[in-house]
Structure formats: structure tokens, C-alpha cells
Amino acid sequence: MNVKTIRQDFPILRTGIIYFDNAASSLTPEPVLEKMMEFYHEYRANVERGVHRLSQKAGEEYANARSKVADLIHVKPEEVIMTKNTTEGINTVASGLAWQKGDRVVVTNIEHHSNLIVWLRLKKRYGVDVEVVRANSEGIFDVADFERAIDDRTKLVTVTHASNVLGAITPVAEIAAIAHERDALMLVDGAQSVPHIPLDVREIGCDFLAFSGHKMCGPTGIGVLYMREDLLDEVEPLCIGGGTIKDVGLDYYQLAQGPHRFEAGTPPIAEAIGLGAAVDYLQGIGMDAIRAHEARLIMKMYNEMVAIPKVTVYGPEPQRRVGILSFNIEGLNPHEVALALDVTAKIMIRSGAHCTLPLMKDVIRHPAGTVRASTYLYNTGEEVDKFLEGISELSASLT
């Protein structure tokens, strides 16, 4: 993996910034932007709306993007639904299943708000019971807790694959097996895993998987919901209209089959094509290589951060996490740390609650939030050194 060559595809890095905000949104390489501009320059037309050559070409490229995503996560193309982001995918599942009072949803206390408040709304609307499985202080779960929490009334188990704060990797395959033993469905929030680690839906055994394009070198406004093929006709779409129907009369309608029933109206065509190009880009480098590169960076970052005075690092050992490291410096607000690193060293990191207030209150017990550094394929060991130097200087300034 030639990081120096990879970095040439990201012109913004030539400005001297160090971008460690990848858990929020990754940078987008030139090949992805060029593929999107190809659509606008050469075959700008709507998909599935015409027989002329431009529409046919646009439709072909849109379908190709779906197939590329399917190949990345090892599923059938017809199981790939294009959404605008992870949140829309999760909401599609939440709104589309037939809920009854007394049904149970099992979630965890480390979830992003998008994989928590939708289920709390079901509780409010339909009387659905929401059971919370709690992680330890490092974000690690005891699988036996899921054995106890998932029962015959459980309709859905929904967990993050990797915490967007602690980086901790959840044993989703083991949890899915428990869920299926109780005839419950399994939804995985893959926003922080799909961009960073090799992932095979067949090995996980989940029924739904949601993730976003903008965290994996793709554009904003495009995401994916994997839905197991036999569930496509059982889940009610979040939105219906043009493109979702098989037949319509003045007093009836019949929805199309497959992923099209979930993709109402004109889709984000350029963004979907860009997502396909992002998958090509990542596949060309290799997900195993990306995972190994990030593991080296986060190992270095973690091992040196825990030795810096006044710094508290949250989450598990590096071997049990993706490339995310959250921390605090005693005596400084998280936003003060992030601003100082930007001003003094042009280092971009995230600060605050990271859309995980229950995690901050229940696990980290630091309501003000944390500072979060997150790595990706274009980051280097030298950048990690500069980041560590900046943290050391901030810590020393407080003595």
C-alpha cells in the first residue's frame, strides 16, 4: 500500500492540513470526482425514465454502482437499496416493519443517536419495549448479556458494528446467531466498519446492514441499506412514488419488487455513480491493506497517548478497535483541544458528544464529550507524530 501515491489523489492534503476527522466524513479522491463529472459531462439524464442513449447509459452506470456495492459486502445486487445515508437506512427498517404493542427491540448503550432514537419513537408510538444491553467502560460487551436480553418477544436486535467514539468492534456475528435462535431480525449499523475493514454479510448473518458513502471516500447524500432478499416484499418502504410501482389505478397501487420499491423519485444518480467509483478505489487498494495500515497508525497513537500526562484515552486495546481514538486532556474542554490543534498545527479532529449522549453519560461519564481522532488510508505515521507532539505540548502547558 503506497500511501504517498494515494495521497496524490486528495488535493486538499497539499494545503498542509492533517485530516483526522474521518469518522465524521472522509475525504474524496479525484477518481471519484472524475467519475461523477463524467455523468454530468457525458450522459446527464434520468435513469429508468427513457429509451434514449443518455438515459440508457445513466441507468447502466447506476446499476453498475449497485453491483459494485454488492460485491464489496458479498450480497446480491437486488439486496442493495440506495439511500441517502445510514440514518435513512435505519429509519427505513424502523418504519417498515409491522410493529405491535409488546414487541421488543434490543439495542445497546453505545449507539449513535440514529440507531437509538428511532426505536424510542417506536416505544412512544406503538408501545414497543426497548431493551438496552450495556457495554463495559471500554465499549466491550459480554455476549451472555445478549443471551439474556433477546427473548421470544424480540422482533429486532440492532447494534453498531464499530463504535464511532470508542472504536470498539462489536461481535455482530455472535449476536446475530443469538437473535436468529429466537426468531428475531438483526440490523447492523456499519457506518464505521464498512469503510475500514473487510466485511462479509454472509459471515455476519445479519438481515439488514446500513452504511454511508461519505465515510468511505464517496460523496455525501448517498448510502446503502442491505436487506435480505426474502424481506424486500415484507418491509414497507419509507417513501413511495415514481419509480417504486409496478401498477397504479385511480383507487389502487402495486409496488415493484426488489430494491426499486424503496427508491422513490429520481435518485441521487451522480452520487450513486460516485459511490461505485469509491468502491472501485477501495477495492483497488484492498480492504485488508487498509485495515492493516490503520491498525498500525492507531497502535502507535494509542500506545503513546496513554503515556502522556493529563490525557485520558477511552476504549479498548488497539487490537479490538477500528482507527478511532477518543480522549480528553484534564483541565481542557474538548472543543478547546480541537481548536488549539487546528490553529497551531492545522490538525483536523472532532470534539463534543459525537451524537452519542447516552454513551457519554452511561459509559465514559463525561457529559461534555471527548476529543476524537480517526484515521484512514491517506494518513501517515508522520502525521501521527505531529498529532502526538501537539497533544504533548497542550498537556505540558497545563503544568
CA–CA separation, 277 vs 65, rounded Å?
8
Confidence class for position 398, pLDDT limits 50, 70, 90: confident
Q: Is residue 41 part of a domain?
A: yes
- Residues 183-208: pLDDT tens digits? 999 999 999 999 999 999 999 999 99
CA–CA separation, 309 vs 11, rounded Å?
36
Q: Is residue 91 part of a domain?
A: yes
Are 279 and 299 contained in the same domain?
A: no
254, β-bridge pairs? 247
Output the nine-digit C-alpha cell for 238: 419509507
Last residue of a domain, one of 284, 307, 338: 284
Residue 387 has pLDDT above 90, yes or no: yes
CA–CA separation, 268 vs 286, rounded Å?
26
- Residues 136-147: pLDDT tens digits? 999 999 999 999
Residue 8 has pLDDT above 90, yes or no: yes
Last residue of a domain, one of 222, 253, 284: 284
Output the nine-digit C-alpha cell for 220: 455525501
Q: Is residue 126 part of a domain?
A: yes
* Alpha-carbon 244 to chain mean position: 26
Are 222 and 317 contained in the same domain?
A: no
Output the nine-digit C-alpha cell for 190: 456499519
Q: Is residue 312 part of a domain?
A: yes
Going by C-alpha positions, the residue among 331, 336, 335 that lies closest to residue 399 is 331
pLDDT reported for residue 285: 98
CA–CA separation, 75 vs 228, rounded Å?
9
Alpha-carbon distances, residue 358 vs 28, 113, 370 (angstroms): 31, 9, 13
Are 178 and 132 contained in the same domain?
A: yes
CA–CA separation, 275 vs 214, rounded Å?
8
Active site (catalytic) residues: 355
- Sign of the Cα pseudo-torsion (364, 368, 371, 376, in order): positive
Are 267 and 298 contained in the same domain?
A: no
Alpha-carbon distances, residue 83 vs 61, 178, 211, 318 (angstroms): 17, 28, 9, 32
Are 68 and 206 contained in the same domain?
A: yes
Q: CA 173, 130, 148: angle at the middle one, nearest 5?
A: 50
Q: CA 140, 392, 376: angle at the middle one, nearest 5?
A: 50
CA–CA separation, 99 vs 153, rounded Å?
11
Are 236 and 298 contained in the same domain?
A: no
Residue 97 has pLDDT above 90, yes or no: yes
- Residues 312-356: pLDDT tens digits? 999 999 999 999 999 999 999 999 999 999 999 999 999 999 999
Residue 303 has pLDDT above 90, yes or no: yes
Helix (H, G, I), strand (E, B) or coil at 125: helix
Q: What is the mean pLDDT of residues 380-394?
A: 97
Q: Is residue 83 part of a domain?
A: yes
Last residue of a domain, one of 269, 284, 299: 284
Residue 98 has pLDDT above 80, yes or no: yes
Q: CA 369, 374, 377: angle at the middle one, nearest 5?
A: 170
Question: In CATH, what number is assigned to the domain containing residue 48?
Answer: 3.40.640.10
**Is 120 within 8 Å of 247 (Cβ atoms)?**
no
Question: In CATH, what number is assigned to the domain containing residue 338?
Answer: 3.90.1150.10
Are 129 and 240 contained in the same domain?
A: yes
- Sign of the Cα pseudo-torsion (258, 156, 115, 204, in order): negative
CA–CA separation, 49 vs 57, rounded Å?
12
pLDDT reported for residue 320: 96
CA–CA separation, 180 vs 273, rounded Å?
35
Output the nine-digit C-alpha cell for 194: 464498512
**Is 260 within 8 Å of 79 (Cβ atoms)?**
no
Helix (H, G, I), strand (E, B) or coil at 148: helix
Range of the domain at 202: 31-284
Q: Is residue 25 part of a domain?
A: no
pLDDT reported for residue 367: 85
Helices (H) and strands (E) in the chain, counts: 13, 15
Mean pLDDT of the chain, nearest integer: 97
* Concatenated DSSP letters of 177-218: HHHHHTT-EEEEE-TTTTTTS---HHHHT-SEEEEEGGGTTS
Are 263 and 323 contained in the same domain?
A: no
Residue 24 has pLDDT above 90, yes or no: yes
pLDDT reported for residue 338: 97
Q: Is residue 128 part of a domain?
A: yes
Are 167 and 232 contained in the same domain?
A: yes
CA–CA separation, 41 vs 15, rounded Å?
28
pLDDT reported for residue 48: 79
Going by C-alpha positions, the residue among 86, 88, 70 that lies closest to residue 78 is 70
Number of domains the chain is built from = 2
Residues of the chain above pLDDT 70, percent:
100
Are 363 and 316 contained in the same domain?
A: yes
pLDDT reported for residue 184: 98
Residue 399 has pLDDT above 90, yes or no: no
Residues of the chain above pLDDT 90, percent:
97
Confidence class for position 291, pLDDT limits 50, 70, 90: very high
Q: Is 349 left (phi over 0), alpha (psi -120 to 50) or beta?
A: beta
Backbone angles phi, psi at 66, to 5 degrees: -60, -45
Q: Is residue 26 part of a domain?
A: no
Q: What is the mean pLDDT of residues 64-82?
A: 98
Are 215 and 293 contained in the same domain?
A: no
Are 168 and 54 contained in the same domain?
A: yes
* This prediction's pTM: 0.96
pLDDT reported for residue 84: 97
Residue 50 has pLDDT above 90, yes or no: no
